[in-house]
């Protein structure tokens, strides 16, 4: 059976981009057709300046939201990365296979390192090795497919390279994974700056719709999305990024094709109104379920405990095999 692995990083409140680009597919498609694991990657949240209490809070919230979005622990495994030691164990071995140059070429590293430096902070070494830990997440489970948004494609590509290299040097150990991207909304853009991604760790609140935004707040954010200069509604990411973003959001929320949707609108105002309502309707059931789950925190804890146990059992044989293959003496 196909094995699927993906994750979210608890560095901020989850956004419409996380939902449309990744979580929705996990719930609607992946968990039903594959043996799937979904992980709250809290170790990754320590790679930039962080507040310990906030990371803990956001990890719990992300777990609750994954369940609210429809992940069903009877169908898939939901767990927290730091609860399964195999991720960190394997990451070190992969650091011995990856190269410094490879890490420095990663787009997200360059962007995030530049951001940290602009803020006057220093760049943590773990930010540089971030993609190796991500590769460990994926490879530890014999993953075939990694459903992610477009921004993670380069990292998944690196995981493939590391798997192939390790296998060539030390014998076949890892399945070589591949990224699967959604056909629409693989990169939901910031509503105030449609040339940059809607990212949960950004500071531009008005351009980001959070999954837990009240309907009125979400509606206003979409209605205030920046307009492009042209008047007619056309789907062209290059010349009309603002309109294209709204068309993609509308399309992803309602299941239509963005190109076709464009033909149905004469004014940008009408498109905004429909996109705003579509977003509110998509968020509504997630928010309702989130409220129910918050009333029963014991349930979420139990799901995570059980998930970690299952994940550990799945990861351990592969990681142990990698230890042996690379030349480490078994503990006996
Ligand atoms: P993270 O937490 O930034 O995002 C979680 C998922 O949401 C997708 N996504 C988006 N999709 C479309 N439009 C957007 N604006 C948008 N913003 C985020 C991301 O592509 C991702 O699929 N490094 C990863 C977490 C990770 C991981 C892994 C993922 C760690 N280990 C192993 C897969 C497999 C990250 O920071 O995702």
Alpha helices in the chain (DSSP H): 16-18, 24-25, 31-33, 52-68, 86-95, 100-104, 107-118, 125-139, 153-170, 215-223, 241-254, 258-263, 268-294, 297-326
Q: How distant, in Å, are the alpha carbons of 3, 112, 179, 200 from that of 117? A: 38, 9, 30, 19
Per-position pLDDT tens, the chain of length 332: 999 999 999 999 999 999 999 999 999 999 999 999 999 999 999 999 999 999 999 999 999 999 999 999 999 999 999 999 999 999 999 999 999 999 999 999 999 999 888 988 899 999 999 999 999 999 999 999 999 999 999 999 999 999 999 999 999 999 999 999 999 999 999 999 999 999 987 766 899 999 999 999 999 999 999 988 877 899 999 999 999 999 999 999 999 999 999 999 988 899 999 999 999 999 999 999 999 999 999 999 999 999 999 999 999 999 999 999 999 999 87
CB distance 87 to ligand 1 below 6 Å: no
Domain 205-291: which CATH number of 2.40.30.10, 1.10.240.10, 3.10.450.50, 3.40.50.2300: 1.10.240.10
Q: Name the token pair of 316.
A: 């351990």
Report, at the CATH architecture level, how domain 3-181+297-326 is classified.
3-Layer(aba) Sandwich (3.40)
Q: Whose CA is nearest to atom 19 of ligand 1?
A: 149
Domain with CATH 3.40.50.620 in the chain: 3-181+297-326
CB distance 24 to ligand 1 below 6 Å: no
User: Looking at the annotation, which residues are catalytic?
Assistant: 112, 197, 200
Q: Whose CA is nearest to atom 33 of ligand 1?
A: 6
Q: Whose CA is nearest to atom 20 of ligand 1?
A: 149
Tally of CA atoms within 13 A in the half-sphere of 295 that contains its CB: 5
Cα(329) to ligand 1 centroid in Å equals 36
Is residue 256 part of an annotated ligand binding site? no
- The CA angle 89-4-298, to the nearest 5 degrees, is 75
Tens digits of per-residue pLDDT, 27-40?
999 999 999 999 99
With a threshold of 0.95, tell me whether the complex ipTM lies above it: yes
Cα(262) to ligand 1 centroid in Å equals 28
CB distance 198 to ligand 1 below 6 Å: yes
- Distance CA(54)–CA(308), nearest Å, equals 21
CB distance 47 to ligand 1 below 6 Å: no
Contact 39, 69 (CB under 8 A): no
Residue that has been written with the tokens 């789907």 in this structure: 235
Sequence-distant (≥ 6) Cβ neighbours of residue 108 within 8 angstroms: 130, 131, 151, 154, 155
Domain with CATH 1.10.240.10 in the chain: 205-291
Q: Name the token pair of 19.
A: 């939902």
């Amino acid at each position: 059976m196909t094995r699927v692995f993906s994750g979210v990083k608890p560095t901020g409140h989850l956004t419409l981009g996380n939902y449309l680009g990744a979580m929705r597919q996990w719930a609607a498609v992946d968990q039903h057709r594959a043996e799937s694991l979904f992980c709250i990657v809290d170790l990754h949240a320590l790679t930039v300046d962080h507040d310990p209490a906030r990371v803990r809070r956001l990890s719990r919230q992300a777990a609750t939201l994954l369940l609210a979005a429809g992940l069903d622990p009877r169908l898939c495994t939901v767990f927290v990365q730091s609860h399964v030691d195999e991720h960190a164990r394997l990451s070190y071995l992969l650091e011995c296979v990856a190269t410094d140059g490879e890490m420095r070429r990663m787009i997200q590293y360059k962007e995030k390192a530049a951001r940290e430096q602009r803020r006057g902070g220093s760049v943590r070494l773990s930010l540089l090795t971030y993609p190796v830990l991500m590769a460990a997440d994926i490879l530890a489970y014999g993953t075939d497919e990694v459903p992610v948004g477009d921004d993670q494609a380069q990292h998944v590509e690196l995981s493939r390279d590391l798997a192939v290299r390790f296998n060539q040097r030390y014998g076949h150990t890892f399945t070589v994974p591949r990224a699967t991207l959604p056909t629409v909304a693989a990169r939901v853009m910031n509503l105030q700056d449609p040339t940059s991604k809607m990212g949960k760790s950004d500071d531009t609140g008005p351009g980001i719709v959070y999954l837990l935004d009240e309907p009125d707040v979400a509606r206003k954010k979409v209605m205030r999305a920046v307009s492009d200069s042209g008047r007619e509604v056309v789907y062209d990411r290059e010349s009309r990024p603002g309109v294209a973003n709204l068309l993609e959001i509308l399309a992803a929320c309602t299941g239509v094709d963005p190109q076709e949707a464009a033909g149905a609108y004469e004014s940008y105002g009408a498109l905004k109104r429909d996109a705003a309502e579509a977003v509110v309707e998509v968020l509504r059931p997630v928010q309702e379920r989130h409220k129910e789950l918050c009333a029963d925190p014991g349930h979420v804890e139990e799901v995570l405990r059980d998930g970690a146990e299952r994940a550990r059992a799945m990861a351990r044989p592969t990681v142990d095999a990698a230890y042996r293959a690379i030349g480490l003496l078994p503990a006996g």
